[in-house]
Amino acid sequence: MDEPIVVGIDIGTTKVCTLVARVEGERTLRILGVGIEPSQGIRKGTIVDLASATQAISRSIEKAQRTSGLEITSALVSLAGSNIESYNSKGVVGISGRVIEMSDVNRALEQAQAVSPPHNREVIHIIQRGFSIDGQEGIRLPVGLHGYRLEVEAHVITASSAAVENLRKCVQASDVGVSQFVLNPLASGEVVLTDTEREMGVVVCDIGGGTSDMAIYINGDVWHTIVMPIGGNHITSDIAHGMSLSLSQAEEVKKLYGCANVEDVADSDVFTVRKFGEDRSSTVSRKELAEIINARVEEIFELLLLEIKRSGYDGLLPAGMVLTGGSSLLPGIRTVASNMLGIPVRIAGPENLLGLTDQLHSPAFSTSVGLLNWAILMNDATSVMRGSGGININLPKVDFEAIKTFFTRLLP
């Protein structure tokens, strides 16, 4: 086929979602295969039972292969968990007054990574935050400019080597190679953020079952990332304990009657449920349920607010927060988030999809679809690098738009 095929495997605490898509026209994705399987052996984004996790991932891949009619040999894989850490770094190289080439940019980024992470950690992403030439800042794409000194500010994201290797082993058990790991909020940001929001300053927050993943974008680049081990499963657990229900009952009650904002629930609203130790169903106030949910949701956004302030960028976010992930579907959560954070908040999910898209427009699949968009960016960047021989660039023939997109968004 002329159109490239892209594959993403989103391995979350709640579900494993494998997507196969064909890129059509102007970066339009036609979903060819979907494999959604409940997660097993995964807690807070980390593998805790290798055999169970391998089986869940294998079933998801098999479903995607069956629905697409294609064999999956490699894929981009999502990454989350409390083992994720990040830091900002600088790299400086000499140019000697000549034209800056791609190889110089690569050398600068390598210098930014000069401080090697500990032996038990590995670098997942090196994302440029901006370049300066001879002290002049604010340069987005230095290739083709003259200068003597090139400096890059980079955001470096690392993960536990053991956690990454366990995840890779689970995927490879299905004879599928991992072409790259992608941090959850960066994948989600590819589908829910607009270019205007990235430029102005925005937070994307993906609240899943086991983790809340956040990335701060300013001037079009990623400036800060964090993964917190708290999410929708904690809300479910609170409901189970507070109302004497099983976890499966609590999850169903949360989806059917839950609300994060107590003021949105009338005092007269009730529902029936059968609690532990009772022979018959009893009537429960929805307001009581909302109060349990509200307490945990407020805690989540209080922790997010502390992290935003700790980053030092809390005054640089006029576009507010874009909320996504399965837990963003909870009624009233946008109101609570806006009140807690004091910034505009909107909820977003994937758009502009073709093919097998029945479930995929939900915010719960932002990371899954985001992996496919990330794969498109990688394909563009690979084409540019091949066209330039990987080192020297023939300036008149280079696709500068593809290079700009690549260096503005990401550098794996």
State the CATH number of the domain containing residue 92. Answer: 3.30.1490.110
- Residue 261 reports pLDDT greater than 60: yes
What pLDDT, in 10s, does the model give residues 314-363? 889 999 999 999 999 999 999 999 999 999 999 999 988 999 888 899 99
Q: Which of 203, 158, 333 is nearest to 260 (CA)?
A: 333
Distance CA 323, CA 340 (A): 14
Report yes or no on 269 lying in a domain: yes
User: Which one of 253, 271, 295 terminates a domain?
Assistant: 295
pLDDT at 187: 95
Domain that holds residue 130: 85-158+393-409
Supply the pTM of this predicted model.
Answer: 0.87
Confidence of residue 389 (pLDDT cuts 50, 70, 90): very low
- Residue 203 reports pLDDT greater than 90: yes
Alpha helices, H only, 88-183: 102-112, 161-172
Report yes or no on 236 lying in a domain: yes
Report yes or no on 397 lying in a domain: yes
Query: CATH no. for residue 236?
Result: 3.30.420.40
Report yes or no on 99 lying in a domain: yes
User: Which one of 242, 274, 295 terminates a domain?
Assistant: 295
- Residue 382 reports pLDDT greater than 80: no
Q: How far is CA 341 from the centre of its chain?
A: 21
Report yes or no on 301 lying in a domain: no
User: Which one of 273, 295, 317 terminates a domain?
Assistant: 295
> Which residues 6+ apart lie within 8 Å of 411 measured at CB?
109, 125, 126, 127, 128, 154
- Residue 404 reports pLDDT greater than 60: no
What pLDDT, in 10s, does the model give residues 3-12? 789 999 999 9
pLDDT at 343: 95
What pLDDT, in 10s, does the model give residues 91-110? 999 988 789 998 898 899 88
Distance CA 339, CA 258 (A): 19
What pLDDT, in 10s, does the model give residues 278-295? 878 889 999 999 999 999
Percent of the chain's residues with pLDDT above 90: 68
CA distances, 88 to each of 85, 94, 112 (Å): 11, 21, 9
| Amino acid identity at 174 | S
Q: At what angle do helices 400-409 and 366-387 cross, to 10 degrees?
A: 130
Domain count, the chain: 2
> Which residues 6+ apart lie within 8 Å of 306 measured at CB?
none
- Residue 263 reports pLDDT greater than 70: yes
Q: How far is CA 269 from the centre of its chain?
A: 36
Is residue 105 within 8 A of residue 397, CB to CB? The reply is no
pLDDT at 269: 94
What is the dihedral angle through the alpha carbons of 288, 291, 297, 299, rounded to the nearest 10 degrees?
Answer: -130
Report yes or no on 320 lying in a domain: no
Report yes or no on 50 lying in a domain: no
CA distances, 278 to each of 241, 242, 269 (Å): 15, 15, 22
pLDDT at 2: 66
Report yes or no on 26 lying in a domain: no
Confidence of residue 148 (pLDDT cuts 50, 70, 90): very high
What is the overall mean pLDDT for the chain? 88
